[in-house]
Amino acid sequence: MLPDRVVGALATAPRPVCAYVYDTGVARGRAAAVREVLPEGAALLYAVKANGAPAVVAALAGVADGLEVASGGELELAVRAGAGRTAFSGPAKTDAELAAAIEAGATVNVESVLELRRLAALASAGKGGRDGKAGRVRVALRVNRAGAALPGSHQMTGVPTPFGLDESALDEAVALVRGQPLLHLAGFHLHAVSNNLDAAAHAAFVAGAVDWSLRAATRYGLPTPEVNVGGGFGIDHAGAGRFDLAALRGALPTAAPLVFELGRYLAAPAGWYAAEVLDLKRNHGRWFAVLRGGTHHFRLPAAWGYSHPFTVLPTPGWPYGFARPEVRDVEVDAVGELCTPRDVLTRGQRVDRLRVGDVLVFGNAGGYGWDISHHDFLRHPYPEMIVI
Ligand SMILES: *Cc1c(COP(=O)(O)O)cnc(C)c1O
């Protein structure tokens, strides 16, 4: 089940094993597969926050049309990776970040009327963009539409959130952009959800987003807008469900240029988190596999409250003169090295055989894994970062 190249990479890791393995070829393959089902002219961006490891960002910058960033730090990564185009989102952009976005020629996904005013002020203060469109800053208005809910774990639209403009603020925002000679209204940004596993529902959401955008453009007398539908293609981290990419082929609208900003779908399957079993113990009737690692490296299962499945990588060698502890055919909880009962990656997964010194490998860990984790809690050493 584990790819040989991942097993090979882990064989080189120092003991006790604690490592992330990123396979940039997998990330590139995911981007190619997505591209194949998108309509002509659609742009595919990689959302850097899923995994900002420079090798992953560089690999995806090379095959996608560009990168989506949500902070000044990510913007710097994107510039360094030579992104073809950059979109900058996030509800809390500082003036310094906006100025850097202008410098970089990024499209700014504007999240509020105030942000728009600040962007215009910075542009007129001489931070002029250099995107070729007469030096104007490309703006996409991020809108939290009414009634655009999608299935998925992180709703961001159709419900109250800090993201985007309320539809009632759109008149003011459009008038503002149009009154600014240094801003160019490229279109709308309608990112709605993360981790949606229903591809048909996603296609319907994209169609709804395009309809909405074209109606808005007509109302305001704008040319055909670019419609950024954000990210949200899902990964079933806990089980065997999958987002059926093929269901998108021919099902996406072509009446406006689309922009996709995918994070999880491209990055998650390109990463594995591996942690060696340091102890096996039975406590109040449950077996615990205590790992050199835990939720400070891979927080997703704790953050979302699910059990992340693992594969046992049997590891030879036992340096002590006493018997190597092992269990057979039992359910174990995979827990980390932190002094908190919440440091749990998996509950109750059955193992045929597990020994101290074996390595548990958690797949689909390349997106929102290391990047969302609280690395310094308890000051354990960081995992090895192995790029293959
Ligand atoms: C996080 C984010 C994405 C990527 O979302 P995924 O669910 O990882 O695909 C895209 N666009 C914006 C604005 C985001 O905040």
The atom of ligand 1 lying closest to the CA of 50 is 8
The atom of ligand 1 lying closest to the CA of 265 is 9
Q: Whose CA is nearest to atom 3 of ligand 1?
A: 231
The answer on 70 and 218 residing in a single domain is: yes
The answer on 145 and 235 residing in a single domain is: yes
262 CA → ligand 1 middle, Å: 6
The atom of ligand 1 lying closest to the CA of 231 is 9
Last residue of a domain, one of 267, 294, 329: 267
The answer on 232 and 148 residing in a single domain is: yes
Q: Which two tokens stand for residue 256?
A: 């406006």
The answer on 257 and 284 residing in a single domain is: no
The answer on 225 and 101 residing in a single domain is: yes
Amino acid symbol at 195: N
Q: Can the peptide bond before residue 16 be classed as cis, meaning omega within 30 degrees of 0? A: yes
- CB neighbour list of residue 154: distance below 8 Å, 6 or more residues apart: 193, 194, 195
For residue 139, list its beta bridge partners.
108, 185
The answer on 148 and 85 residing in a single domain is: yes
For residue 293, what is the domain's CATH number? 2.40.37.10
Whether ligand 1 lies within 6 angstroms of the CB of 296 is answered as no
| 10-residue averages of pLDDT along the chain (388 residues) | 95 97 98 97 97 97 97 96 95 97 96 97 77 74 81 66 94 96 96 91 95 97 97 94 96 97 98 98 97 98 97 96 98 97 97 98 98 97 98
pLDDT of 133 reads 46
How crowded is residue 233: how many other Cβ atoms within 10 Å of its Cβ? 22
How crowded is residue 221: how many other Cβ atoms within 10 Å of its Cβ? 8
The answer on 230 and 339 residing in a single domain is: no
Query: Which residues have a catalytic role annotated?
Result: 339
The answer on 258 and 281 residing in a single domain is: no
Q: Candidates 89, 196, 202, 233: which one to mutate for ligand 1, based on the most atoms within 8 Å of Cβ?
A: 89
Whether ligand 1 lies within 6 angstroms of the CB of 259 is answered as no
Last residue of a domain, one of 245, 267, 289: 267
Q: Which two tokens stand for residue 67?
A: 């990168």
Whether ligand 1 lies within 6 angstroms of the CB of 230 is answered as yes
**Where in the sequence is the domain holding 307, given as residue range(s)?**
4-20+269-387
The answer on 109 and 47 residing in a single domain is: yes
pLDDT of 169 reads 96
Q: Whose CA is nearest to atom 11 of ligand 1?
A: 230
154 CA → ligand 1 middle, Å: 10
For residue 124, what is the domain's CATH number? 3.20.20.10
- Helix H or strand E encompassing 19: strand 18-22
Residue 135: burial class (beta carbons within 10 Å; 0-12, 13-18, 19+): middle
261 CA → ligand 1 middle, Å: 6
User: From residue 379, how far is each of 29, 80, 297, 338 by CA, in Å?
Assistant: 35, 30, 11, 10
The answer on 293 and 187 residing in a single domain is: no
The answer on 339 and 244 residing in a single domain is: no
Q: Which two tokens stand for residue 221?
A: 């007398």
| Number of compact structural domains in the chain | 2
Q: Can the peptide bond before residue 14 be classed as cis, meaning omega within 30 degrees of 0? A: no
The answer on 187 and 130 residing in a single domain is: yes
The atom of ligand 1 lying closest to the CA of 367 is 8
Last residue of a domain, one of 267, 287, 304: 267
